[in-house]
Structure 1
Amino acid sequence: MSEQAGSTLARYEGRDRKLVAARTAVLVVDAQNAELVPEVLAQYPDFDRALHGRALPAMKRLVDGARAKGVEIVYTVIESLTRDGRDRSLDHKLSNIHIPRGSHLGKVIDLVAPQEDDIVLPKTSSGVFNSTNIDYVLRNLGVENVVVAGFLTDQCVDMAVRDGADRGYYMICAEDACATYTDERHATGLRAFGGYCRVQDVDAVLADIV
């Protein structure tokens, strides 16, 4: 490639940029009643503490603050399209993950519940970009920047960040609005996918929305 041709290429300088509200969406991943099942919280005390002490309050600040700035709020939840779950992915069938269509367990947690005109996309895989039409929806909305929050940090949040980055979105993870079953897994997950996104706390994310 000639020097002249190379000089016409766009130059990208890291991940530090402001987030234009009209081009930004907050993606809330699996913040649903299934995460509040007492048996799960009893089995994973780190998750219980992180969920109620940090992640859900931070998620509410993120959703409320971003919405006030005109940012689109999009939710995804694990929920089958059918009552018997015949449409689930093979992985969900093998893992015995099934939340029937219309189940209370598939509803978003009240504290961060969607408003009347928000978009909620049911999925039956770890990756929202794999089992929903979110890519089509975000492009129709004119979204370029996606702020991810939700559960679990090292599973469905991880997949959303990586897949979104591969599809050309500028990804941001709101780290304090995410949680997983142990604190160690949360920290390890953030380190593992941090190369695909900008990792910030909610206050820093909100400060960058213009």
Structure 2
Amino acid sequence: MAGSALLVMDVQRDVVDIVGVADSAGSGAGYLPRLRRAIDGARAAGVPVIYVVMRLPAGDPRASARSKVMATVVRAGLFAEGAPGTEIHPDVAPEPGEVVVAKRRASAFSGSDLDLVLRARDIDHLVLAGIATSAVVLSTACRAIDLDLGLTVLADACLDTDPELHRVVTENLFPLWGDVLSVDAWLAAIGSR
């Protein structure tokens, strides 16, 4: 899949803890191993893996009180630069040389150099995976279609705290914007299983 990249977004220790990915009975059951398969398959097929993380300066003065989400995030001390919880979960950690993009808001493009990274590598198609479907995945997909980028969403490599919201977005909205596939279907399409 020349021109494609897999974006692994917000799979950080604090986020994984919040959504309860480790809970084998919850909606996150099997999430990290499934995401790991997608990452390993992308690498095997020569598809670049780009990690996106949320990192905010402590007490981020750019976080407006008008933004309910950002005010809550800053008050809770989430995503503070240098905090252990902002690290990418070790089960899906990047290999040396893989790009890690730091963003400042929901979209992978917000306050980051992702667009520059994509242009420098001639990437015109994004394969999205991450937590949460209704936050980073949705926001990034919106921006990607505005930039005329091709889009694939790996539905079972995305996760949300609200399973019904995840279902509605992946079944009703994302198919209007691009392809929605399972990890296994995507791996078969790129010839990596």
Report TM bin, short chain: 0.7 to 0.9
2:83 matched to 1:103?
A: yes
TM-score normalised by L of structure 1: 0.79
What SS is found at the alignment partner of 1:49? coil
**Contact kept in structure 1, 2:108 and 2:140, CA below 8 Å:** yes
Aligned ranges 1:130-149 → 2 under 5 Å: 130-149=110-129
Q: Which moved more, 1:24-33 or 1:126-135?
A: 126-135
Aligned residues: 185
Q: Select the residue among 146, 157, 160 that pairs with 2:140.
A: 160
Q: Could you list the per-position Cα deviations for residues 177-199 of structure 1 after superposition, in whole angstroms to 9, with x for gaps in the alignment?
A: 11101221110121223311210
SS in 2 for 1:99: coil
* Percentage of pairs with the same residue: 27
Shift of 1:101: 1.1
Question: Quick one: which of 5, 13, 30 aligns to 1:33?
Answer: 13
2:58 to 83, 98, 101: 83
Structure 1 unmatched runs, 5+: 1-19
Task: Determine the C-alpha separation between the residues in 2 that align with 1:111 and 1:68.
Answer: 17
8 Å CA contact 2:104, 2:110 repeated in 1: no
One of 66, 69, 74 as aligned partner of 2:45? 69
> Which 4+ residue blocks in structure 1 deviate beyond 4 angstroms?
44-48, 87-90
Distance 1:83 1:179 in 2: 27
Which of 1 and 2 has greater Rg?
Answer: 1
Q: 2:26 aligns with which of 49, 55, 69?
A: 49
TM-score normalised by L of structure 2: 0.86
Name the structure with the higher helix share: 1
1:205 maps to 186
Question: How big is each residue's C-alpha offset from its partner over 1:138-161, in whole Å with a ceiling of 9 and x where there is no partner?
Answer: 011111211000111112101111
Unpaired stretches in structure 2, ≥5 consecutive residues: none
Output the CA distance in 2 between the equivalents of 1:66 and 1:48. 28
